[in-house]
Structure 1
Amino acid sequence: MGILYLVALAISITGMVVLDRRFGLFFWHRPVRAAIVLAVGVLFFLVWDLFGIGLGIFFRGETSFMTGLQVAPELPVEEILFLTLLCYLTMNVFRGASLLIARREAV
């Protein structure tokens, strides 16, 4: 049960990849730009988390659904996958909304 959250995050990221591939949203539209944007977004939020941890604002929650593995003190490995999912989802939604708006304006 200790890896349930990690598995759920991996499945969710897989879903983002499938949607991206199906509709050509993010990586299938411009792969190099997408990789840079995703890396910068994840790094930004990791630095944000580290500042929050350093200031005593963020704490690692104890739950039986997590692995217990930490990348840094108070920073669980699941956080990296969560931030990746968050950034990937945001970019897919942004690109998808842009395509829908463009399609609507063309009609």
Structure 2
Amino acid sequence: MTYLLVLLALLGCMALLDARWKLFFWARPWAAAAVMAAGMAYFLAWDVRAIAEGIFLHRDSPLMTGIMLAPQLPLEEAFFLAFLCYQAMILFTGTLALLRRRSVPGPAPAPARTTEPAGTEDSA
């Protein structure tokens, strides 16, 4: 159960970042949902294939709920894949936003003024 709660907390943190800077779901909800569904489908298919090949095996843990979506596929795996996809898209869209901000020309910075404190001028 602990692992699921940690994953839910991490998903919540991603959602807060997304909401604050409107990066993914808050920018384009329908497109984001389609991307998340495609990513989840891809990674779940990957997991199912790896399970069938004997590469991924589930081991019991007191940190997990014990709920299985399919043989060798725990509930937590679906939440982990959701976190993985969401995190990747937050990083991708956040990087794009940062690069856009840096490439937009803004006003030139004012030249630095050097002023001498009163009474320190050279009178040579």
Query: What is the TM-score when the length of structure 1 is the normalising length?
Result: 0.95
% identical aligned pairs: 44
Confirm or deny that 1:19 pairs with 2:10.
no
Instruction: Give 1:63 shift.
Output: 1.7
Q: Which ranges of structure 1 fall in alignment gaps of 5 or more residues?
A: none
For 1:42 and 1:17, locate their aligned partners in 2 and report how far apart those are by CA, in whole Å.
Answer: 17
Instruction: Give 1:106 shift.
Output: 1.2
For 1:101, the aligned partner's letter is L
Q: Which ranges of structure 2 fall in alignment gaps of 5 or more residues?
A: 106-124
RMSD: 0.7
Q: Which has the higher contact order (CA 8 A, sep 6+)?
A: 1
Number of positions where the alignment pairs a residue of Structure 1 with one of Structure 2:
105
For 1:103 and 1:17, locate their aligned partners in 2 and report how far apart those are by CA, in whole Å.
Answer: 22
SS of 2:69's equivalent in the other structure is: strand
Alignment deviations for residues 1-51 of structure 1 (CA, whole Å, 9 cap, x no partner): xx0000000010011111100000000111000000001100100000000
Query: What is the TM-score when the length of structure 2 is the normalising length?
Result: 0.83
Instruction: Give 1:80 shift.
Output: 0.3
SS of 1:17's equivalent in the other structure is: helix
For 1:26, the aligned partner's letter is F
Alignment deviations for residues 64-100 of structure 1 (CA, whole Å, 9 cap, x no partner): 1011110000000000000000000000110000000
Confirm or deny that 1:41 pairs with 2:42.
no
For 2:69 and 2:31, locate their aligned partners in 1 and report how far apart those are by CA, in whole Å.
Answer: 27
Structure 1 runs (4+) deviating above 2 angstroms are none
Q: In the alignment, which residue of structure 1 is the partner of 2:5?
A: 7
Q: In the alignment, which residue of structure 2 is the partner of 1:82?
A: 80
More helix by share: 1
